[in-house]
Structure 1
Amino acid sequence: MRKRKIQVPVLMNLLSSNHRYQIVLVSLLILLTLTNCSSQEEKIPEPLQKLANLTVIPADIQPKNTIQIKRDTSYGSTNDLLIDHIGTIAVDDSGRVYFTAGGPNGIHVFEPDGQHLTHIGRKGQGPGEFSSAYPAIHIFSDRLFAVDLRAYRISVFSVGSLNLIRTVSINPTNQIKALDDYYIHQIIPEKGGTFLVSFKKFLREVSDLPEGTKIDTLTRSYYPMDKEGRLIPKQVLKIQDQPVVIGSVFQNIGPVSLNFFSKPLVTVSNDGSIYAAHSKDFLIKKYSPDGECLRAFYHPYQNVSLTRETALESSNASMSRLILAMSGEGMSESMIQTMMNSRQRLIRQMDLPPNWPALNDLMVDDENRLWVSTIMNDQKISQWWVLDQNGKLMARFNWPRSKPIEVVKNGYMYTRETEEETGLQTIVKYRIEMD
């Protein structure tokens, strides 16, 4: 906000003493308001002051709503079905729950009341089958998209009939020249049946780098892809990727990702808007489907200090989750334990950043509200912020990090929860009530 000159003296000569008194009071209030806005601007980091349509969320803001979260239904193992580790999760408009769970049975389908209905596809190479035990699944409108990057294809199912509608072949050679050294990292379905494709850079010739070398110059590039799997040569988003550190495992040298480094967070809303953040700061940018930056939300979040102890604890927790995931892909526990030991050694030796990132996760619900989780001093808890499309804080609550929120839809949030004794995972649905 710019400071304006207020021409008070000219008016005061023409008015009565009572009117003069009123104008002085009003003028002082205006000046105080302008001063407050200026002082707020001084607290905004200089690079952000140039952003158009920037909404600043005050440091001392309080939510306008209270939120209550009530446990409702769980989805998982039954008398006839054993589910250990759950992959990706999707929910349709009727409340049916879909998730991958490794093994041969593809995608499991549950009724809203928790009853297991059926499964879609299976592991294999044929139509509607998956090379990976955990294909990424998404639901848009009445279509279920199963993204199988190993097989370079997307299987599209009808939510109504659960039948396979078509298969989209992803041709990895159909890439832009600028992507010669990149590989497909993620494919996100969009409104209208198109896709947003994320590319990550190959790291070649890193074996001659000393262990502990940090590489923080990587980027992710996002391009649109049409319904037939053809890339459109227009980059809509480019964002700094998570740094990697060179480490050694099984006498091989390679890049290692560590969760205390800042990472990109990208999600797509029902109306096609793209929301992107880099977890270092509480700064979220909204883009149009063709990559135009529309607005930004910033909150001066106080990042939590990083210690070697908390870094090691967090690495152990993330590797434990990897053990569950990789067991479905054929990796033995001894191999994963070797990876864990190598990672622990690396963390003990390397220079650590001073702070944790501000953000841990970013998602958008079916009402196009933003759900943002922040990292707190207590590493067992995340603080979740619910923002409307204009960046206004609707609600805020603490939630256990051991129960990550996966989907928010139809007035419910769906979490992944792990039983400590058995290691079995379930999806738990909670009703959301906001006053």
Structure 2
Amino acid sequence: MRYSSIVIMLVLFLTGCGSDSFEIEERTVLTDVLTLELTFGADEEKLEDEFLLASPEKTVVVNDAGDIYVLDEMDLNVKVFDKNGEPKIIFGGPGQGPGEFYGATYWQTISSTGYLLVSGQNWFVVFSPNNKFIKNIRYTNNPVLNRLLEENDWRSSSLGTTYVIDDSHFLTSVTTRDNSDESLYPEHELLVYLKEDNPVEIARYQSSRILTSMGLLPVSFRGSLLFNPIHDNSAVYSHSEFDKFEENNRSFYTLNIISFDNNIKRQITCPYKPVKIPQSQKEEAKRFIPEIPGTEKLIKEIDKAEYYPPLRKLLVDRDFIFAFTNMKNDEEYILTDVLDASVGKYLVSAYFPFIPSTIKDGYAYIIGKNDEGFDVVEKYKVSPAVYGK
């Protein structure tokens, strides 16, 4: 374990249940925080053919027992391994009846309650904590989304990342579009808590796509809605474009924490150093935009951007929030702030060599490559110092 230091002020604001603030003059940044403990998925001598990873999707998820779930896009199923990489079960599959996946699968999530959700094109599949099929959810003509459209006079909507809390409670991102095309950014990004099919809007932000002659196109270097459940029936969220501010020539980003038991919201505000976007990156982004009338608005928005958004991803391990920033060191390791959501306390910052797919019970997981170039699951031990121990 090594340490480096950056001199910076950290200020914490808590709202909704009182307020407090403190300052840390010097922030210690940990290095060498991951130790590889296990790789598996490509060893033909240890695994039967059906458990070999053919084309794993990148979102590895882990339940409270340490079971590791890998969504295999080629085999179109979910392969489950125990904490030691030993095969346990395969479920899912193409079609209806014995299979539950209508077509290509894209990503998966698992909540602290153990419910697994697998995403495909226009559908979700929900599995129970004991890996049993519960139901398919189609979000074309979904009645809950239709209710949101009617209440807000929106034209269309689509679901994004979704977590299943239990059979009737979901946490999801929703993208909606205004009926009018007068706005440059006609879409909204919503964080919605679905409680027994009753949509409760948690937050609403402007989307990152603008209207051009080619339709809606994403604006490079513009932030997005990041969120993750916390095990005590709460969640952390932040929009990396809008949940930031300047004060006394210093930059801050804000994490929002909401409890679904009492709807109390808190905020944790952390300082960050803005990272300037190189002109070469802007030119690379513009290179893929066709030179036709109507796309000049998109080019203008890219040219306006000066700095990367403060955050790239949020991960949660129990009460611990990992905020992966856009700041890197000379080795290209990612500066990551770690906070304790239970007390609203900043703990430490660390340089991670990559952004894990999942961090669970002190271990980080990612899909990597072995020496032969085959996909494998990599399991890393996270240093206890990252958790303030």
| TM-score, normalised relative to structure 1 | 0.67
User: 1:194 deviation in Å?
Assistant: 1.5
**What is the correspondence of 1:50-61 to structure 2 with a 5 Å cutoff?**
53=18, 58=23, 60-61=25-26
For residue 112 of structure 1, what is the aligned residue in structure 2?
83
Task: Give me the whole-angstrom Cα distance separating, in 1, the residues matched to 2:312 and 2:22.
Answer: 18
Task: Give me the whole-angstrom Cα distance separating, in 2, the residues matched to 1:354 and 1:415.
Answer: 31
Deviations 1:324-351 (A, max 9, x none): xxxxxxxxxxxxxxxx844899887742
Deviations 1:288-330 (A, max 9, x none): 21683432111232211112223466x69xxxxxxxxxxxxxx
**Residue among 169, 173, 193 paired with 2:143:** 173
For residue 200 of structure 2, what is the aligned residue in structure 1?
234
**Residue among 162, 172, 189 paired with 1:197:** 172
Q: Highest CA radius of gyration, 1 or 2?
A: 1
For residue 279 of structure 1, what is the aligned residue in structure 2?
240
CA separation of 1:54 and 1:76: change in aligned 2, threshold 3 A: farther
Matched letter for residue 265 of structure 1: L
For residue 298 of structure 1, what is the aligned residue in structure 2?
269
8 Å CA contact retained: 1:55, 1:298? no
Deviations 1:250-270 (A, max 9, x none): xxx122224511212111111
8 Å CA contact retained: 1:59, 1:299? no
CA separation of 1:307 and 1:223: change in aligned 2, threshold 3 A: same
Task: Give me the whole-angstrom Cα distance separating, in 1, the residues matched to 2:366 and 2:233.
Answer: 24
Which ranges in structure 1 are unaligned for 5 or more consecutive residues?
A: 1-39, 317-339
For residue 247 of structure 2, what is the aligned residue in structure 1?
none
User: 1:85 deviation in Å?
Assistant: 4.4
For residue 333 of structure 1, what is the aligned residue in structure 2?
none
**Residue among 280, 288, 293 paired with 1:309:** 280
**Residue among 217, 221, 231 paired with 1:270:** 231
For residue 391 of structure 1, what is the aligned residue in structure 2?
344
Is 1:376 the equivalent of 2:327?
Answer: yes
Alignment identity in percent? 19
Q: Which has the higher strand share?
A: 2
Pick which of 259-268 and 65-74 moved more.
Answer: 65-74
Is 1:357 the equivalent of 2:309?
Answer: yes
Counting matched residue pairs gives: 347
Task: Give me the whole-angstrom Cα distance separating, in 2, the residues matched to 1:192 and 1:69.
Answer: 36
For residue 16 of structure 1, what is the aligned residue in structure 2?
none
Q: CA RMSD in A?
A: 3.8
Which ranges in structure 2 are unaligned for 5 or more consecutive residues?
A: 1-8, 245-252
Matched letter for residue 406 of structure 1: S
Matched letter for residue 297 of structure 1: I
For residue 358 of structure 2, what is the aligned residue in structure 1?
407
8 Å CA contact retained: 1:75, 1:110? no
Matched letter for residue 234 of structure 1: V
Task: Give me the whole-angstrom Cα distance separating, in 1, the residues matched to 2:137 and 2:224.
Answer: 29
Matched letter for residue 90 of structure 1: V
User: 1:360 deviation in Å?
Assistant: 0.9
8 Å CA contact retained: 2:185, 2:211? no
SS at match of 1:351: helix
Task: Give me the whole-angstrom Cα distance separating, in 1, the residues matched to 2:184 and 2:67.
Answer: 43
Matched letter for residue 197 of structure 2: L
Task: Give me the whole-angstrom Cα distance separating, in 2, the residues matched to 1:75 and 1:155.
Answer: 26
Matched letter for residue 99 of structure 1: V
SS at match of 1:414: strand
Task: Give me the whole-angstrom Cα distance separating, in 2, the residues matched to 1:67 and 1:121.
Answer: 38
| TM-score, normalised relative to structure 2 | 0.74
Matched letter for residue 315 of structure 2: M
Matched letter for residue 347 of structure 2: M
Q: Which has the higher helix share?
A: 1
